[in-house]
Chain A
Amino acid sequence: MGFRGNLEKVLSDGKFAVTAEIGPPKGSNPNSIIEKAEILKGCADAFNVTDNQTAVVRLSSISGCFILLKMNLEPIMQISCRDRNRIALQSDVLGASAIGIRNILFITGDHQSFGNHPEAKGVYDLDSIQLIQIVKNMRDNGIFQSGDKILSGNPDIFIGGVANPFADPFEFRVDRLEKKIEAGSDFIQTQSVFNMDKFNIWMDEVRSRGLDKKVHILAGITPLKSLKMAERMKFHVPGVDIPNEIYDRMKKAKDPSKEGYMIAHDLINKVKKIKGIHGIHITALFWENIIPNLVKETRLYPRFY
């Protein structure tokens, strides 16, 4: 069977996948992407390129993906519903497919009020679930959202979505995952996992509904670089749940970055053992150079293909 790309092959073969995030720069100089890509080459099966994450203007996701493709790294393009309407979103999916992007992760997006242009008008013509359903229909049936037919080439995309097991209403979180699967998600990357108890409760429900058999779930891992970062994520980043136990470890640590690394290390080893988890997604914000060690020391290296 043919696979669209590396990520799909790893997951379909039942292997434990690793994806990692590469955040584009606040400028047109591509060097920082190239440098990060060189450090991370071989450490993950595919690499997320974020789409103006936290509503801060950065080099475009599609362009970042193009740079990775030229370096023979497999990108996962992120597309947010915040900045484009259904016309532009569908157009970008076609364009991405045309240049060889095979994975796209669809998100609704961080609200513009968080970013560096809080005066911007948010678009939100679609939400992530609607967009996933539209792209699946474009891929499988060659039909645009309007019902119009695609004339020359359906987008050939492995479809990703996100899930936050830690937000409220908690009991609706698995229902929402189910909607994303029904819409057409092939893989799911979760919000950063720190609260293992809550994550396990969520996964119990996921397994009891058999959803782990319908979609590939990658658990989010974010190494905490400093106490300041831990505090920012605990108190200011919406939807992140850092339990007091982890926060205290960071507070008491003589070397917080070392402690943050160890916490990530422990969390990876824990999620690896959870039935139904098919991989991890590492988001090491401005700290990508620790990823090679992290995957080696958690026995996730070398990668398969």
Chain B
Amino acid sequence: MIITTQKDFEDIISAVDYGPVFIIGCSECATICHTGGEEEVLAMKKQLEKKNINVSGSVILDPACHFLNDKRLLKNHVDEIKNAKKILVLACGNGVQTVSEIITTAEVISGTHTLFLGEIKRLGDFEKRCSLCGDCIQDLFGGLCPISRCPKEMLNGPCGGSIEGKCEINSELDCIWDIIYTRLKKRGQLQRLKEIKKPKDWSKSTEMRRIL
């Protein structure tokens, strides 16, 4: 899932200016992250109105990254959008851009920071699991990804800063290389870590073409 956090309300206010604002949420990731679901869109509406900013309307897209669905859903709100000077999108960075492709009459503002593709540990607790590199190599590491989970993206780790299973940059962060080592050891596959892993092919991730 795409993990987002909501921007500081003060930053949202300064971007929204005087409004009027039309608010857009998303039924999927942003709903689960509690950054742009129905509850949050409603709360945002109230907060903005408290600051005397007019909210012309709102919608929850299903999901915001779906271009054709968005076009269809937004048609039902044509007048509300026409009355808005700003469109506040509470979805991921993809959702913001899909909306800005469709709505060209008002300025589209992102109300969130998009962090990563990650896992929900429990409510409000997310961990990064994937860097969307286009060339999955987890099979080499027991189903674990050092590119997304090692701050140095090492393929021949761990570095010299792995201490008692923790990462050198943050003692609350588990060293993924320690986890990889332990998992492969349990499976009797430690010989896999003795092979030198070749440099990663980043050309697979930088192609910005459409893929069908």
Contact = CB atoms under 8 A, between A and B. Distances in A.
Contacts of A46: none
Nearest to A178: B194
B168 interface: yes
Contacts of A183: 196
A179 to B, nearest CB: 6
Interface string B185-202: 000001001101111101
A238 B199 contact: no
Contacts of B196: 129-130, 133, 179, 182-183
Given A111-B168, A168-B178, A169-B178, A179 B156 contact: yes
A179 B178 contact: no
Contact of B152 (A111, A164, A166, A169): A111
Interface string A114-126: 1000000010111
Contact of B194 (A109, A128, A179): A179
A134 interface: yes
A239 B178 contact: no
A33 to B, nearest CB: 26
Contacts of A114: 169
Contacts of B200: 125
Interface string A82-123: 100010000000000000000000001101011000000010
B151 A111 contact: yes
B161 interface: yes
Interface string A132-171: 0110000000000100000000000000001110111100
**Residue among A125, A166, A178, A238 having the largest count of chain B Cβ atoms under 10 Å:** A238
B109 to A, nearest CB: 24
B62 interface: no
Contacts of B182: 169
Interface residues of A, number: 36
User: Is chain B's interface secondary structure helix, strand, loop, or mixed overall?
Assistant: loop
A273 B161 CA distance: 28
Interface in A204-254: 238-239
B199 A167 contact: no
A175 B199 CA distance: 19
Contacts, number: 88
Contacts of A145: 199
B181 interface: yes
A179 B197 CA distance: 10
Contacts of B10: none
A166 B164 CA distance: 11
A304 interface: no
B159 interface: yes
Interface string B10-45: 000000000000000000000000000000000000
A163 B181 CA distance: 18
Contacts of A3: none
Nearest to A166: B160
A127 B155 contact: yes
Contacts of A169: 158, 162, 178, 181-182
B156 A172 contact: no
B197 A130 contact: yes
A125 B199 contact: yes
B153 interface: yes
Interface of A: 81-82, 86, 108-109, 111, 113-114, 122, 124-130, 133-134, 145, 162-164, 166-169, 172, 175-176, 178-179, 182-183, 191, 238-239
17 contacts: A82-B152, A86-B199, A111-B169, A113-B169, A122-B152, A125-B199, A125-B200, A127-B153, A127-B155, A127-B159, A168-B175, A169-B181, A175-B193, A178-B194, A191-B160, A238-B168, A239-B163
Given A111-B169, A162-B160, A167-B158, 10 more contacts: A111-B168, A124-B152, A127-B157, A167-B161, A168-B158, A175-B193, A178-B194, A179-B194, A238-B163, A239-B168
Closest 5 CB pairs between A and B? A164-B160, A238-B168, A238-B161, A129-B156, A239-B160
